[in-house]
Amino acid sequence: MIDTVLEAGDTEDGVRPVSAGPLLRVEGLKVVIRSGGRAVRPVDGVSFSIAAGETFALLGESGCGKSMTALAINRLLPDAAVIEGGEVSLGGDDILRLPETRMRSVRGGRVGMVFQEPATSLNPVMTVGAQICEALQLHRKLGAAAARAEARLLLESVGIPGADSRLDDYPFQFSGGMKQRVMIAMALAGRPELLIADEPTTALDVTIQAQVLDLLAGLQAERGMAMLLITHDLGVVARMAHGVGVMYAGELVETGPRQAFFQTPLHPYARKLFAALPDGARRGSMLDAPVGSVPALDQAFTGCRFAERCAQAFDRCDDESPRWQQVGSQAVRCHLYDADSVPRPLHRTSGAAFGQADASAGTPLIEVRDLAVHFPVRKGVLRRVVGQVRAVDGVSLRLGAGRTLALVGESGCGKTTVGKAILQLNAASAGAVFYKGENQTGLTREALMPMRRAVQMVFQDPFASLNPRLRVGEIIEEGMVSLGVAGDGPSRRRTVDALLERIGLSASMRWRYPHEFSGGQRQRIAIARALAVSPDVIVCDEPTSALDVSVQAQLLNLMRELQRERGLAYLFITHNLAVVEYLADEVAVMYLGRIVEHGPAARVLGAPAHPYTRALLDAVPKISAGSSDSLPALAVASDLPSPLDPPAGCHFHPRCGLASDICRVSYPAERSMGGGHRVRCHWADASARGLRRPD
Amino acid sequence: MIFYLLRRIVYTIPIMIGVAFFCFLLVHISPGDPLVSILPPDASIELQKQLMRLYGFDRPWYEQFATWFWRALNGDLGTSIASGRPVATEVMRAVGNTLMLSCMATLIGFLFGGLFGFVAGYFRDSWVDRVASAFSVLGVSVPHYWLGMVLVIIFSSWLMWLPATGAGPGGSGEWAWDWAHIQFMVLPAITMSVIPMGIIARTVRALVADILAQEFVVGLRAKGLTDLGIFLHVVKNAAPTALAVMGLQLGYLLGGSILIETVFSWPGTGFLLNSAIFQRDLPLLQGTILVLATFFVVLNLLVDVLQTTLDPRIQRS
């Protein structure tokens, strides 16, 4: 242990060569899943190594075999999956040949694991203390009292306040970020040499993600652990990794140190991943998404697996599987580098190309005035109202025809409730929603019809938002029938066919069921369903957050085209600021039921005046080649407070670095920063200059 | 916790009053005069009226209900028309016998159903699962009175291992926990346990399969737990629901064992109900149903409380 700590200390700016005495070495690992005569190979000859104190990131989209690789290292594969070949050695021990009894001391002892979904990765009916103690008693042979004391230290080390009393709490009493911290504490219980983190922050908000990533990086440096980080997020890789491996269709296609990789990604697939990322610099231009999807893994590949989606593919790519080529410090499997070809550095379009901020042209399609949605909390026999959850508490918005307004905030801030209240799916407690100047609140079902037709919704989860028992054609047609648009049966069917073609599917697919489609395709179907009644406005509630980057890029391209063709207005509810930068004309930042900053996207994101907006922007891991280990200037601490009992004064003050006495007493009034940019902060000027309150 | 318990007990009071009311009404609106069976066919109108007055049938129904309910609260369920003995004594003795039988049957059903369910859930889609599932489907679908008769034919008539009917050498009311008595319980208990066994097995199988598919199970394995350790985690997760199902099954058995008790002449509530219905013994019928319903409510209360202590996610408010 001592050697590894020293070793971790003597590297310069955290980047270390991959070959420095590897702790974990994976060589030609192959996993096969056999079912009903088919053999699927999710991991097909993967090799990499990780040194102590180093973080190696496996990067790739869903279904490319990242998680299977991680499970195989721990021999935790599902029953149907078998390790077909290869070698895994951990500190010299041949993991694949260890007897199962010794393997158990490796799992949780020498190798700790953190999973993606903190909500489901803890036993729901046991206290977190009991679950951590279980690992301690198992691997460190501690007695009950000693284990409890150690568990408390572990909870403290992962930054859980009041660790002593929280040991006796159950998982459901923790927030998502806190649960993930508990998970990390549990993984650390056996003092692992290697920590495998499988998408550890994907299910968390950006602010929480930043906290958890910092925690992981800190713990790793402190304990000199090696870390295998599995992620699809280039930003997370840039922030955390020393070495990077890009996986595609069961194979590694590129490996290299972080810096070199982010400067010059070599493999065309890796380049596509960068090109598919939305951001402000790509506004107004199409995102360069790879066409098609990952090939099925039950076939025998002859050529390069990426060839059919690769713009640079040539004949040889179809016939011959490329071998590893060393290019500088990187290694890549691509025929483009067979000869002594020189890689071009990644070309990034630069310069902010924000559209002109033409905020309030004419009557807005949708206007929300001082909207409030309160949910009563009832208790006792008589169901007395004992409190109000102020999910939405005085929100005003305007959305003009053909424009995109992004509503941004952490989960639980009330943004989805605003979307639903606009469609009158939630009753407003106060305030009004206007569609084309007409107040929609309190109208009857019939009177709501014109607005219901004109304002449609696309939901976050494409797997849950389509009725699995209806055919795609019926799903799209249903809205037309109930709202009585698009004429008789045959003409409706023509509309459905045209819509299917328009969203990039074929008309013959109208007979299929939702489960036959991928997530991205389903989300397109959801859009087609919304478009079927020719709406003016689509409320999109996190439409891309369940999708991979390349699929997200395809969907964003489609949405942008549809907006241009049909003059659609989007209310885009999201927590993804990169998407906002790419798509939105205006941004409204929401915190605990209120809009704290509002204005043209260029101004709000370019010169944020509210500390919360700045914190959100800072929390997004930056994709840059340089070292990004420095902490964000205004990281928010702790979780979102409860909307049942919001903090007095400015709701944000307990998490704000600028907060002073006045912030604790009075909620700031709205003030203009010019150019339609409005903010509610007592310290907006200081905040806009990027200052921190001197302590 | 104490407040939760108190509150739950208070909640049962309106339920009990409602139950009592429906018991009373149900029997009251059914056709047929209860006095017919004890009156001689040639009884004079005078005699009829006298008896009506004696049993209180001449007063308005709400008065009858109030009197009946007040007496029931004091433990007096009236007098059986057929036997002339106090209903409370009759019912209580029968309840004791039924409780014994149903608890035994539920225990058998829970043990084997749980076992089958766990095995089937753990080895889903293997032959073990298919055998266990076939058993449980069979258990739910076979008519149990028929099964009872078949068991009697096999074990009593052919093999002569076990007695066919009755509750022991001393008749009803003289039970003792020795083989001379217990052997009378074996066949009815097994027959009775078949349905809860099937239902519990199906429930547990689905539960276990659900739990094993959850991510935290991979987490447990990644923690280095043995299979036994993981099994204990699974049991802890499955227990609340399994227990709830068991409690409900016990409730059903308490009231719904008329057929089996009749087949085996087991002197329990089912048997009592059966004869009360055929003899139009109104007070006995009302009393029995009331007591059974009370059991059901109390049982549900117990199950709820137990579930709350086992599953921390169920709110105690």
Q: Looking at A685-694, B89-98, B131-140, B253-262, which range is the least confident one?
A: A685-694
Write b or e for each residue in A661-677: b if 16 or more Cβ atoms lie within 10 A of its Cβ, otherwise e: eebeeeebeeeebeebb
What's the pLDDT at A351? 40
Q: Which residues of B touch A113 (CB under 8 A)?
A: 219, 222-223
Q: Is residue A608 part of a domain?
A: no
Q: Are A125 and B310 a contacting pair at CB < 8 A?
A: yes
**Contact (Cβ atoms closer than 8 angstroms) between residue A278 and residue A582:** yes
Q: Is residue A616 part of a domain?
A: no
Q: Which residues of A touch B229 (CB under 8 A)?
A: 134, 138
Q: Which tops the pLDDT comparison, B292 or A404? A: A404
Q: Which tops the pLDDT comparison, A473 or B80? A: A473
Domain that holds residue A149: 119-190
Q: How confident is the model at residue A149 (pLDDT cuts 50, 70, 90)?
A: very high
Q: Exposed/middle/buried for A95, CB within 10 Å: 0-12, 13-18, 19+?
A: buried
What's the pLDDT at A13? 41
Element (H, E) at A406: strand A404-408
Q: Are B233 and A183 a contacting pair at CB < 8 A?
A: no
What's the pLDDT at A644? 76
Q: Which pLDDT tens digit goes with each residue over A296-322?
A: 888 888 888 888 888 888 888 888 888
Mean pLDDT of chain A: 84
Tell whether the model's pLDDT for residue B254 goes beyond 80: no
Same domain, A328 and A379: no
Q: Are B237 and A123 a contacting pair at CB < 8 A?
A: yes
Name the DSSP letter for residue B176. -
Q: Looking at A84-98, A270-284, A393-407, B30-44, which range is the least confident one?
A: B30-44
Count of domains observed in chain A: 3
Mutation pick from B218, B231, B235 vs chain A, by most beta carbons of A within 10 Å, is B218
Q: Which tops the pLDDT comparison, B316 or A333? A: A333
Q: Looking at B13-22, B147-156, B178-187, which range is the least confident one?
A: B178-187
Q: Looking at A600-609, B114-123, B174-183, B206-215, which range is the least confident one?
A: B174-183
What's the pLDDT at A573? 92
Percent residues over pLDDT 70 in chain B: 91
Residue from the list A74, A112, A121 with its beta carbon closest to the beta carbon of B216 = A121
What's the pLDDT at A18? 42
Query: What is the arithmetic mean of pLDDT over A145-153?
Result: 92
Residue A668, token pair as written in the block: 């700031």
Using CA atoms, how far apart are residues B101 and B97, in angstroms rounded to an integer? 6
What's the pLDDT at A261? 92
Mean pLDDT of chain B: 81
Q: Which residues of A touch B311 (CB under 8 A)?
A: 125
Same domain, A167 and A275: no
**Contact (Cβ atoms closer than 8 angstroms) between residue B75 and residue B150:** no
CATH number at residue A506: 3.40.50.300
Q: Are A126 and B233 a contacting pair at CB < 8 A?
A: yes
Query: What is the arithmetic mean of pLDDT over A434-452?
Result: 87
Using CA atoms, how far apart are residues A410 and A396, in angstroms rounded to an integer? 18
Residue from the list B222, B226, B313 with its beta carbon closest to the beta carbon of A172 = B313
Same domain, A276 and A331: yes
Q: How confident is the model at residue A433 (pLDDT cuts 50, 70, 90)?
A: very high
Tell whether the model's pLDDT for residue A633 goes beyond 60: no
Same domain, A376 and A524: yes
Highest averaged pLDDT of the listed ranges A15-19, A666-670, B24-28: A666-670
Q: Under 8 Å CB-to-CB from A377, ≥6 apart: which residues?
A: A385, A386, A387, A388, A389, A644
Residue from the list B7, B221, B236 with its beta carbon closest to the beta carbon of A126 = B236
Percent residues over pLDDT 70 in chain A: 90
Q: How confident is the model at residue A693 (pLDDT cuts 50, 70, 90)?
A: very low
Instruction: Give the count of beta carbons closer than 10 Å to the beta carbon of residue A631.
Output: 10
Q: Under 8 Å CB-to-CB from B255, ≥6 apart: which residues?
A: B269, B270, B292, B293, B295, B296
Q: Looking at A503-507, A589-593, A632-636, B308-312, which range is the least confident one?
A: A632-636
Which fold is adopted by the domain B95-278? MetI-like fold (1.10.3720)
What's the pLDDT at A343? 56
What's the pLDDT at B38? 65
Same domain, A332 and A374: no
Closest CA to A574 of A552, A554, A558: A552
What's the pLDDT at A690? 64
Q: Are A121 and B219 a contacting pair at CB < 8 A?
A: yes
Same domain, A326 and A438: no
Q: Which residues of A touch B310 (CB under 8 A)?
A: 125
Q: How confident is the model at residue A5 (pLDDT cuts 50, 70, 90)?
A: very low
Q: Exposed/middle/buried for A355, CB within 10 Å: 0-12, 13-18, 19+?
A: middle
Percent residues over pLDDT 90 in chain B: 0
Strands A22-35 and A38-51, by their bridges, are antiparallel
| Alpha-carbon gap: A170 to the closest alpha carbon of chain B (Å) | 7
Q: How confident is the model at residue A25 (pLDDT cuts 50, 70, 90)?
A: very high
Give ∠ CA A295-A300-A303 in degrees, rounded to 5.
Answer: 75
Q: Which tops the pLDDT comparison, A693 or A454? A: A454
What's the pLDDT at A381? 62
Same domain, A424 and A484: yes
Q: Which pLDDT tens digit goes with each residue over A86-126?
A: 999 998 889 898 898 888 889 988 999 998 888 888 888 88
Same domain, A333 and A387: no
Q: Are A124 and B221 a contacting pair at CB < 8 A?
A: no
Question: Distances in Å between the alpha carbon of A562 and those of A455, A486, A524, A555?
Answer: 15, 19, 12, 11
Same domain, A434 and A506: yes
Sheet containing strand A594-600, edge to edge, reads: A455-458, A537-541, A569-574, A404-408, A586-591, A594-600, A678-679, A671-672
Tell whether the model's pLDDT for residue A197 goes beyond 90: yes
What's the pLDDT at A380? 66
Tell whether the model's pLDDT for residue A355 goes beyond 80: no
Q: What are the residues of chain A with a beta carbon less than 8 Å away from any beta carbon of chain B?
A: 71, 74, 76, 104-109, 111-113, 115-117, 120-127, 134-135, 138-139, 170, 172, 183, 186-187, 189-190, 379-381
Q: How confident is the model at residue A344 (pLDDT cuts 50, 70, 90)?
A: low
Q: Is residue A643 part of a domain?
A: no
ipTM (interface predicted TM): 0.73
Same domain, A413 and A522: yes
Question: Distances in Å between the alpha carbon of A263 and those of A229, A232, A238, B58?
Answer: 20, 18, 11, 100
Using CA atoms, how far apart are residues A365 and B193, in angstroms rounded to an integer? 66
Q: Which pLDDT tens digit goes with each residue over A648-683?
A: 888 888 888 788 888 888 888 888 888 889 999 888
Tell whether the model's pLDDT for residue A588 goes beyond 90: yes
What's the pLDDT at A585? 92
Q: Which residues of A touch B126 (CB under 8 A)?
A: none
Domains in chain B: boundaries: 2-69, 95-278
Q: Looking at A145-154, A257-266, B291-300, which range is the least confident one?
A: B291-300
Q: Under 8 Å CB-to-CB from A442, ≥6 apart: which residues?
A: none
Q: Is residue A211 part of a domain?
A: no
Q: Looking at A367-371, A421-425, A630-634, which range is the least confident one?
A: A630-634
Q: Which pLDDT tens digit goes with each residue over B188-227?
A: 888 888 888 888 988 899 899 888 888 888 888 888 888 8
Residue A531 main-chain phi, psi, to 5 deg: -70, -20
Tell whether the model's pLDDT for residue B96 goes beyond 50: yes
Percent residues over pLDDT 90 in chain A: 25
Using CA atoms, how far apart are residues A438 and A447, in angstroms rounded to an integer? 11
Q: How confident is the model at residue A503 (pLDDT cuts 50, 70, 90)?
A: confident
Same domain, A185 and A142: yes
Q: Which tops the pLDDT comparison, A389 or A1? A: A389
Q: Are A120 and B215 a contacting pair at CB < 8 A?
A: yes
What's the pLDDT at B169? 65
